[in-house]
Chain A
């Protein structure tokens, strides 16, 4: 990858780096935490699983402390990622007219992130905050009525349902859909095929 490849759209084979180590670490810390919390949360939520496992107090503690650990780990990665992740956040923040066209289904060349990926990332970040707040309120609300809101559980459950929908779409695009599943490589190894990048992310100028 000595020479810049971005000029050779769809001609020369080769790979370009898409995600930095900090970005990939953030993604996988988030994914690992989410799956563990989903598993323990569903045991608390679904009667069938509650019956199977039965040790509610233990699962509840695991779920809570895993949530605390998840938020803490994410915070550490964000702090360590520093400027690099701040630049990523700026990319995710910014929507140009091509993005808006793309969202209306009329194409429009995309940058390193397409508009759908930006929305998914922004919602995931917002949901993390809301999961954290509602989870802490559920935990402390059991001990003190000042932290008790009738709607906390509605919020926490609602976030779970919407997150599951996003996750199913995300997994479909990352693992199954033929046109997009190549992107998984970018999140595991960091690099993607330059041709693929040129087709799907035409406005992106890889380093």
Chain B
């Protein structure tokens, strides 16, 4: 019993488990920067109904850029379609809702890493709104103007024409809540959330897409999910 190896395995010998636990936790946490989201998506995808019920706010986070969240007043609110158009249009909330109604289920990705799976949106296609204003041939992009000043962002015409781009005034079967951009917001599931302008009050047809609010802060103009803002190659 006098060999050092035996002494090391003496059950009464105190063990330095504290530092091991510390280092393992720190190492696990740091490496999770590379595997955390994939693992979480895997788990939350499998138990999606559970996470959306258990996670507060259904996994959403609410971003605002000013001190006051815009308030929707159905009496005074208008969606104005202007810029390079033949016929500027001003739609009331009821007029917007009278346009052909579409629904879709799509996933919402924030550039900061959180995701909300399978959101049920209801609203109108941008084309159905634009048709009434008749864009001129010189207009190659759209400027989306929020009631939250100075939040604006742009999409090119081909981007805005993607199949599942919509102006959503319903979310999960109910009128769009204030914090999600009431009365209507842009939804482009292929791009990160900061392109999905909330609290819309205007859409302008413009010659070309330039940098919007978040692009001025360094985010990519073409915010393709998984292929922009430093993600993907």
Residue numbers of A with Cβ under 8 A of B are 44-48, 50-51, 54-58, 89, 92-97, 118-119, 122-123, 125-127, 129-130, 133-134, 137-138, 141-146, 148-155, 157-159
Contacts and interface: CB of A to CB of B under 8 A. Distances in A.
B14 A154 contact: no
A148 B229 contact: yes
Assign chain B's interface to a size class: 35 or more
12 contacts: A44-B61, A45-B57, A95-B16, A129-B26, A137-B33, A145-B229, A145-B230, A151-B33, A151-B34, A151-B38, A152-B112, A154-B37
Nearest to A48: B57
B56 A56 contact: no
A93 B23 CA distance: 11
Interface of B: 11-19, 21-22, 25-26, 29-30, 32-38, 40, 56-57, 60-65, 67-69, 112-114, 178-179, 217-218, 229-231
The 7 closest A-B pairs by CB, nearest first: A145-B230, A151-B36, A93-B18, A126-B25, A47-B57, A153-B113, A50-B62
Given A146-B230, A148-B231, A47 B25 contact: no
A85 B66 CA distance: 45
Contacts of A97: 11-12
A129 to B, nearest CB: 5
Contacts of B26: 126, 129-130
B15 A94 contact: yes
A94 B60 CA distance: 42
A79 to B, nearest CB: 19
A56 B63 CA distance: 7
A47 B33 CA distance: 25
Contact of A95 (B14, B37, B56): B14
A9 to B, nearest CB: 22
Contacts of B40: 151, 154, 158
A96 B67 contact: no
Contacts of B69: 51, 54
B60 A155 contact: no
Contact of B32 (A92, A138, A142, A155): A155
Given A151-B35, A154-B36, A55 B67 contact: yes
Contacts of A50: 61-62, 64, 179
A45 B32 contact: no
Nearest to B111: A148
A57 B66 CA distance: 8
A155 B30 CA distance: 9
A133 B27 CA distance: 12
Contacts of A157: 114
Contacts of A146: 230
Contact of A56 (B19, B30, B34, B64): B64
B36 A94 contact: no
A94 B16 contact: yes
